[in-house]
Structure 1
């Protein structure tokens, strides 16, 4: 009798796997594992796709879409948002004027167990500052100072100081400086440039000079090319060319080299004073040192000729601008419309409006104001009113200049009823004294 054959468990006589219930049971777990692996791979692929969509929404500054995608991601058990994601969203919401939404997201982050940082607090403060909500910003600053791990730094104070400057709350600027000094936080060049620009725009020249002197004497926040541009722009806009030139040389003596914007400021200032020789000299200097002529360069030259109604030179400059491949912007067309209007070439005004439309140039309030001014100058009140209606239809908000053009045009024709109607429409921008004159 032959000895029994030893069989490996699960194998038949031929060494093949036994067919039956046990083998089916052996295959089922493998299928489930494969399904789970496939599902996990699909989930990872989905997560990558949606995460990319979130990044795209943030980069395109679409805050509504970004929040929707973020909510989708948070519903997934494998997704845990990090501090960096919250930071990007809070910054986006702040730049989009959605301070309340930014604060809601900040609170949600804390509830999720993420620890706040000085950077996150500063981003939230920035959101309120951009919306002009200073009281809320100052309350958050107080909260930061009470948190040992979230103490404010120079960037926090610079953010609040900029909002104070924008609101012309220079009393708060001085309070922030005092607060910084008590905490041994020194302002940096960016902080000082913000304040310098604010004092200059407000006409507080003594305060501006004090800040500038502090910068010149400082070892930690020396003036830079931005400082130079602020000062030159201030004196240039005020028509104080000699002071502008003096400061230009002074900054050069400190080793600060001009950039394209610096030279554009000089061109603009010389153009407004009709100092065409100096304007041309700066442009030649730019060519010599390989500084590019930008759209702003051409705009300054076009504006200079437009101010005096020199249509020939203005048009020549515009043609040169286009031949060099430089793209005209809204300001370019505003200057062209004003210049042709002053020269009495109203058919060319129409041509410029059509060209701007064809090139897809954004048509903002200043653009409509230029057209309104041209219509008023041509005594074409019917077209002026049509442009005004079109402006409102496009939800392009009229400003003080808009109403000033309309009121002057109606007053010239003795149309007091039309002026009264404008006052009824916007009593803030058309005060009673304009109606009664």
Structure 2
């Protein structure tokens, strides 16, 4: 049944966008979008209305590809309002299951629109193709768009290509792409060098890696860059691992004298000795040399700790963390989040909660939504979802920390995994009050779980809510609830009405 909307006497695009976002059922939202120009002869859609309509369509699971394509086709070919690049980028990024349609939007519709730049859409399509393993298509897209004024290549595009080629075991091609991007006036960033250096070292192309480091040192010889320690350590550790100890010592000495700004240390410098050390001993010496004997800065500590936590070297990371505190530096939120992430990967969710509750408080570091999400996800994976729920209330009490859609999805998934379906339903109710739209799988999990514990009445109510959002339940949901008709006439009547509504909308 369609929602009845009270149309205003004068309709503005901002008012229509608000009405569209208020609709539970995306079909109702699209109906408002289509009816508005017919009701008001002088009314014209703008990009704000198209954005609201697109968001409503993208909330459907699975994404209605024909409807999305039709909406953007109307924007590009029939409407005179500007076609914003972020709108196409959002649509392309959501079409993960249909890369051919994403290619059609970029190659056919976007050139016929009045969009002046395509850079965000290009990055979204490149990311989609590479995530689906279509490396050849991605390289073809790159070649096709090279030189077009609408597409400005930036470091994110370069990093995506370099990372994909390194993952595919083609570091030589990654090095060639690196050189080609520089010809297109696209300057690499730290992530570019870091990814390429790791790819070359992993493939054993150490001579190319040394040449890359020398070019990097030449680029920064005038100003230095403290956070580049993570790039330097990759090469030095690889050289030591392959038995090229002398070269490792020479490069480490050169990095300490030239790559890091340390005028005082250049006058009385004595490079570290790596000969005779095991791999783990050498790693520790290299890390300490780059940060402690190099330049003690927040950037170098942050970069090094991020790498150590990612590698799971928690003990060494803690030693460097303590060294950072003793040197007078205040840890950032991102450092604590890296630590929490590492602890959760090790199955130490309780320790990650201590980081949030105690360590961050002691350092006057305010947690973010992402910090809470990481801890809650770790607790849910450890089967402690009820403790994770407690952090939701804590978030709501913190000023400026508003729970996001991912927060609720983490909790619902964890509660359902522990068969706490009543508590999961309560979290879903709070999620809906925040006007976040759950996907069909969330509704299915709640309804299926309530049926399994005999809470049929609540299951039917959630089924009604699900249908009102325009989502059709799976077949086993209907089978689980069909028995209600035999035992409860009133609930059976409601159940049959819901089936009729689904039949009508389908």
TM-score by length of 1: 0.50
Greater RCO (Cα-Cα under 8 Å, separation 6 or more): 2
Larger CA Rg, structure 1 vs 2: 1
TM-score by length of 2: 0.44
